[in-house]
Amino acid sequence: MNWKEEIIKYLIDCGAEVDQQSKSVIKVKAKRIGFFSLGEEKKEELDVYVYEDQYRRKPAQLLSRLRSLCGLNEFRIHGRATSVQLVDKKIAMKFLNQNHLMGFGGGKYFLGLFHKDQLVALAVFSKIRFMKYENPSYYSTELERYCSLENTTVVGGLDKLIRHFLRHYETDDLITYIDKEWSDGSAYLRLGFDLVNTTTPLSFSVSTETYERQVVSDKNSIPKEYILIKNKGNLKLRLLV
């Protein structure tokens, strides 16, 4: 069984009704998901793009995200049943590394949702920046990460954490970046965010041995044992306060 078949079997075992459209593309509900080995060309528009290096390096986190995306989580907790608390950086780092595909990436404020003393969701906000070169100048904050506990959906969790942050910290807007290869940003648009722009695609070099991925600017400097991957860029969204 290859890595693509392993993921598809996992989704089926979780209860997904999978429409196998090709060796590399499946459809679950309304989402078309494509799987790409290193060097494999992306030939069609899909809703989700999954790369081999992501699965090789963080299989549990990738499977968890796909399971959640397909609406297959076993546990559902309503945001009303949770409480918001500031979370220590070390605890946040551990939670993100276990439950977010990108892992811990820094941040200033870590707000968690707790259900019966268990951390079930976490949002990471940047420091509040004064945009002095804008006219007029204003204060801006970035929502850098959000994730929930594996196999758990917290209904209204993100909205509750955002509203709590805006009540307790002074900022004029909240921005966030959405990976176009995973989402169309609709969940954030429903929360009041507006689309600002789309960033240019990024190029990554991926090791064929360790599957380590790094952003590259000079495509001609990539060693032979690395494969070049180019993503679809990000959506930049903004919520005015």
Stated length of the chain: 241
The confidence score (pLDDT) of residue 160 equals 98
Q: How many Cβ atoms from other residues are within 10 Å of residue 101's Cβ?
A: 18
The confidence score (pLDDT) of residue 4 equals 97
Question: How far apart are alpha carbons 7 and 9 in whole angstroms?
Answer: 5
**pTM metric for this prediction:** 0.94
> Is a pLDDT exceeding 80 seen at residue 172?
yes
Average pLDDT over residues 116-144: 97
DSSP 124-158: EE-PPEEETTSSS-EEEEEEEEEEE-TTEEEETHH
199: DSSP letter: P
Per-residue confidence at 224, pLDDT binned at 50, 70, 90? Answer: confident
Nearest partner of 215 among 230, 200, 225, judged by Cα: 230
234: its two tokens: 């990000």
Question: How far apart are alpha carbons 230 and 207 in whole angstroms?
Answer: 14
Mean of per-residue pLDDT scores for the chain: 96
Domains in the chain, CATH or no CATH each: 1-72 (no CATH), 75-171 (3.40.630.30)
Q: Which residues contact 54 (CB under 8 A, 6 or more apart)?
A: 62, 101, 213
Per-residue confidence at 42, pLDDT binned at 50, 70, 90? Answer: confident
Per-residue confidence at 1, pLDDT binned at 50, 70, 90? Answer: confident
Beta strand extents in the chain (DSSP E only): 18-20, 25-28, 31-36, 48-51, 75-78, 83-86, 109-115, 118-125, 129-131, 138-148, 152-155, 173-179, 194-198, 203-207, 213-215, 226-230, 234-240
Question: How far apart are alpha carbons 141 and 129 in whole angstroms?
Answer: 6
The confidence score (pLDDT) of residue 199 equals 95
Q: How many Cβ atoms from other residues are within 10 Å of residue 211's Cβ?
A: 17
Residue type, position 156, single letter: G
Average pLDDT over residues 164-168: 98
> Is a pLDDT exceeding 80 seen at residue 239?
yes
The confidence score (pLDDT) of residue 227 equals 92
